[in-house]
Chain A
């Protein structure tokens, strides 16, 4: 299990069953729900924010939020 702010570009994984309580409802509504796939698409030049593909949605969020989302890495 790893938080998505620690991913390398191109790595992906499945969101774990127990979502951290800090994950806002809005992020869940975008597709950040247990069982859904997350992939790191790009890191901004100054290392923040992070561009993810979350269950088909392309969004960018800051590191401070990304560290609350945990996934099981896909080998």
Chain B
């Protein structure tokens, strides 16, 4: 019977912890969320020699157990609570050769918790370039641990680490720091009151904002026998503790670590100056950004068309081989179309995360934050918000997912909430058709009116996102006392296997997480659009036939079919709903037909055009005919329905409205609750309604 060994990985950011986790677990990984919060939980299985299986958990990156973010406090919660399901038997602290001294601070804290600890020193392939020499056995003695020298780049050291895990029994559980030295009287008092619990654990529980509690923090303070401390005094004690830790680390490093300082790297310095240069820095960044955006915009259309075609064929095929009826329609038009609607996002997600992963792995992303922080801060956004905001111009779904890199929860939330304002590619078909219909073809100083309007709409989206961000960050009462600090890692060549893992993991989490919601909503909308309770709906074919006869028009069988579809749509649940909301949308300049199209396009913005095509009984896909047909449409007074006022109103509505259930599904997944997507939906719908109302009333 193989016993499962519970292993936790922890370490500073930028130490290659994920690479090591990937190397240990391969594809046997699972990503989810810690219950109730938005921190990502990464677990996996690793087969060790000697028939042992290790259950790995990849704890969020941390500089110290003195937490300043939600991510870091997750690690502390688990490590302080022996009864937690994830409490490890062994902790592997991941460090790397260049910042070993600082990495070891966390190591000493983990050791002091009394857990068996292994030190893994990564990026060992860079030792000679850095002029670093290590005496591993001297370090092992000084630090009271076992050390694995790893290079994920060269694929070495992983087996040695696995072997150390097998031999975990021999690891000591002794602390390295004598915490009494921080304040003798205080800690002696603590020891007397709680003799059975490790002093450092008590200390951590007192100073950190932790939830679980075998001992109530208040009761510790209330005990007579030793004095309570003010926040100021606690901070000074932490200061002393940090000084003591580094004294210990420096002593240990003297025995086992040597650095030849003449090996300073000039090239790194040159790159740094280039990427943060007043002119070149921004230029390079915007070129990179637009290239990413361009690739996503252009190249993803090929696989997306292929996917579209494939699912379309599949649906047709199902209709042929299965007997006609409700169930067949459900499968073909509801389920298959729904799944297609999820899969079609995969190319864009894959491309975006391919690039983001390259930027992060190479170390360049920190320089982006450095450049953009001053610009983004007034709007309550992070320097890291730029990439998601720009990616939103292709599609909001991967953009929202990309906000994971923003550590500060408030900045991340604000970015998630405003990304949908940036003009995504799905709005384009709607914009193009309406602009062609209502904007005249003239020129203004050589610039075509139509092109100007389109550019204006893009600007509107961008401005709306910034203003909304400013508004939200002023009003959202979430405060995380985080002071701004970004580490500037050395520039490295990205490891493609890590990029691959990231792309795979993000795609999978989207399909499984958001995919379910999107599929469910697709089926609901399909159902509402193809079923109705009224008599007109049930007798569609008959009524249409009668109508055609009275008009004495002779149509081909296809045209008759389209007329029936149009009639059915008009009398379906959605059609009834469209007629029901007509009084409300009339003030925006819309009739019930446009109203229906607005409702159906909640599924996806581009559906607006397709729905209008159905209502007007036009072959979907022939844009010129749709536009032509729409231009001919007249209202009860004989005036064109699609005039400037209505057209402008539709454009403004689409610019500001949340017409995308897939985005809502992703926001729900990323924020781990329905609260935020609902707020987003209400906020944007109200804003869109008001803005288009004003537009129509002013122009009409």
Name A's B-contacting residues (CB within 8 A): 19, 21, 24-31, 33-34, 41-42, 44-49, 51, 55-62, 65
CA distance A22 to B341 in the complex (A): 52
| Contact of A46 with B374 at beta-carbon distance under 8 Å, contacts A25-B242, A30-B102, A59-B485 already known | yes
Q: A29-B63, A44-B373 are in contact. Are A57 and B102 (CB under 8 A)?
A: yes
Using Cβ atoms and an 8 Å threshold, which residues of chain A touch B272? 41-42, 51
In the assembled complex, how far is the CB of residue A67 from the closest CB belonging to chain B, in whole angstroms?
13
Q: Are B276 and A28 in contact (CB under 8 A)?
A: no
Q: Are B246 and A49 in contact, with the CB atoms below 8 A?
A: no
Q: Contacts of A61 on B, CB cut-off 8 Å?
A: 483-485
Please tell me if the beta carbons of B243 and A33 are within 8 angstroms of each other in the complex: yes
Q: How far is the CA of A51 from the CA of B64 in the complex (A)?
A: 21
B581 proximal to A (CB < 8 A): no
Query: How many A-B pairs fall under 8 Å by CB?
Result: 99
Q: Mark B186-215, 1 if CB is under 8 A from A, else 0.
A: 000000000000000000000000000000
**Distance between Cα atoms of A33 and B249 in the complex (Å):** 14
Which residue from chain A places its CB closest to the CB of B259 in the assembled complex?
A: A56
Q: Which of B371-391 contact A (CB under 8 A)?
A: 371, 373-375
A-B contact list, 27 entries, CB within 8 Å: A21-B235, A24-B483, A25-B64, A26-B63, A26-B68, A28-B238, A29-B63, A29-B66, A31-B101, A41-B272, A42-B370, A44-B371, A44-B374, A45-B277, A45-B282, A49-B373, A49-B484, A51-B276, A51-B488, A56-B99, A56-B101, A56-B102, A58-B487, A59-B488, A60-B370, A60-B486, A61-B483
Known A-B contacts A21-B235, A59-B485; the reply to A29 vs B64 at CB < 8 A is: yes
Q: What's the Cα separation between A60 and B276 when bound, in Å?
A: 12
A1 to chain B, nearest CB (A): 19
Question: Given contacts A62-B484, A65-B484, are A25 and B276 in contact (CB under 8 A)?
Answer: no
Q: A57 near B273 (CB under 8 angstroms)?
A: no
**Contact residues in A for B487 (Cβ distance below 8 Å):** 57-59
CB-CB < 8 A to A44: which residues of B?
276, 370-371, 373-374
A33 to B242 CA separation, bound complex (whole angstroms): 9
Q: Does residue B278 face the partner (Cβ distance < 8 Å to A)?
A: yes
Using a CB–CB distance below 8 Å, which chain B residues touch chain A?
Answer: 63-64, 66, 68, 99, 101-102, 105, 232, 235, 238-239, 242-243, 246, 272-273, 276-278, 281-282, 366, 369-371, 373-375, 483-490
Q: A27: which of B276, B278, B485 is its contact (CB, 8 Å)? A: B485
CB nearest to A29 among chain B residues: B64
Nearest CB on A from B61, distance (A):
13
Contact of B483 among A31, A45, A65 (CB under 8 A): A65
Q: Which residue of A lies closest to B64 (CB)?
A: A29
Looking at the complex, which one of A25, A49, A65 makes contact with B66 (CB distance below 8 Å)?
Answer: A25
Residue of A nearest to B279 (CB): A45
Contact (A45, B488) CB under 8 Å given A19-B239, A21-B235, A29-B105:
no
Cβ contacts under 8 Å, B369 to chain A:
60
- Please give me the residue from chain B that is nearest to A43 by CB atom: B276
Residue numbers in A under 8 Å from B276 (CB-CB): 42, 44-45, 51
> What residues of B have a CB within 8 angstroms of the CB of A26 in the complex?
63-64, 66, 68, 483, 485
A3 to B366 alpha-carbon distance, docked (Å)? 24
Contact B485 A30 (CB under 8 A): yes
Measured between C-beta atoms, what is the minimum distance from B21 to chain A in Å? 23
Task: Tell me if A57 and B281 are in contact (CB < 8 A).
Answer: no
Q: Which residues of A contact B483 (CB under 8 A)?
A: 24, 26-27, 61-62, 65
Q: How far is the CA of A12 from the CA of B11 in the complex (A)?
A: 29
The docked-state distance in angstroms from the alpha carbon of A59 to that of B239 is 20
Assuming A26-B483, A41-B272, what are 14 further A-B pairs, CB within 8 angstroms?
Answer: A27-B483, A28-B238, A28-B242, A29-B102, A30-B63, A33-B243, A42-B276, A44-B276, A49-B373, A56-B101, A58-B490, A59-B487, A61-B485, A62-B483
Q: Which residues does chain A contribute within 8 Å of B105, judged by CB atoms?
A: 29
Across the interface, which residues of A come within 8 angstroms of B485, CB to CB? 26-27, 30, 59-61, 65
A29 B242 Cβ-Cβ under 8 A: yes
Residue of B nearest to A31 (CB): B102
Interface centre among A29, A58, A60, by most chain B C-beta atoms within 10 angstroms, is: A29
Indicate if the CB atoms of A45 and B239 lie closer than 8 Å.
no
Chain B residues with Cβ below 8 Å from A59 are: 485-488
| Complex-state Cα separation, A55 to B246, whole angstroms | 11
How far apart are the CA atoms of A58 and B12 in the complex, in Å?
Answer: 13
Q: How far is the CA of A48 from the CA of B377 in the complex (A)?
A: 11
> Smallest distance from the beta carbon of A57 to chain B beta carbons, Å?
5
Tell me which residues across on chain B come within 8 A of A28, comparing CB atoms. Answer: 238-239, 242
B488 touches A58 (CB 8 A): yes
CB distance from B207 to the nearest CB of A (A): 9
Asked if B66 and A45 sit within 8 Å, CB to CB, the answer is no
Taking the nearest CB of chain B, how far is it from the CB of A28, in angstroms?
5
Complex formed: what's the CA distance from A27 to B371 in Å?
21
Complex Cα distance, B276 from A42, in Å, reads 8
By Cβ-Cβ distance, the 9 closest A-B pairs, closest first, are: A46-B374, A58-B488, A45-B278, A29-B64, A25-B238, A48-B374, A28-B242, A60-B486, A42-B276
**In the bound complex, what is the Cα–Cα distance between A27 and B370 (angstroms)?**
17
Chain B positions within 8 Å of A30 at CB level: 63, 102, 485
A56: chain B residues at CB < 8 Å are 99, 101-102
**CB of B488, distance to nearest CB on chain A (Å):** 4
Tell me, in angstroms, the Cα distance from A73 to B657 when the chains sit together. 56
Q: How far is the CA of A47 from the CA of B370 in the complex (A)?
A: 11
Instruction: Say whether A45 contacts B281, CB under 8 Å.
Output: yes
A46's partner among B232, B243, B375, B490 (CB-CB below 8 A) is B375
Kindly identify which residue among B66, B232, B486 contacts A21, using a CB–CB cutoff of 8 Å.
Answer: B232
Expressed in whole angstroms, the Cα–Cα distance for A51 and B271 within the complex equals 14
Q: B66 to chain A: which residues have CB within 8 Å? A: 25-26, 29
Instruction: Choose from B102, B239, B242, B488 the contact partner of A60 (Cβ within 8 Å).
Output: B488
Q: Which residues of A contact B242 (CB under 8 A)?
A: 25, 28-29, 33
What's the Cα separation between A31 and B366 when bound, in Å? 19
In whole angstroms, what is the CA distance A43 to B205 when docked? 39
**Residue with the highest number of chain A CB atoms closer than 10 Å, among B102, B273, B369, B487:** B102
Which B-chain residue is minimally distant from A42 (CB atoms)? B276
Evaluate contact between B374 and A33: CB separation under 8 angstroms.
Answer: no
With a cutoff of 8 Å between Cβ atoms, the chain B residues found around residue A62 in the complex are 373, 483-484
A26 to B65, CA, bound (A): 10
Residues of B within 8 A of A19 (CB): 239
Q: CA of A66 to CA of B340 in the docked complex: distance in angstroms?
A: 52
> A4 to nearest B CB, angstroms?
14
Q: How far apart sit A57 and B142, CA to CA, in the bound complex (Å)?
A: 23
**Residues on B with beta carbons closer than 8 Å to the beta carbon of A33:** 242-243, 246
Measured CA separation A34–B68 after assembly (Å): 22
Q: How far is the CA of A47 from the CA of B232 in the complex (A)?
A: 32
A33 to B366, CA, bound (A): 24
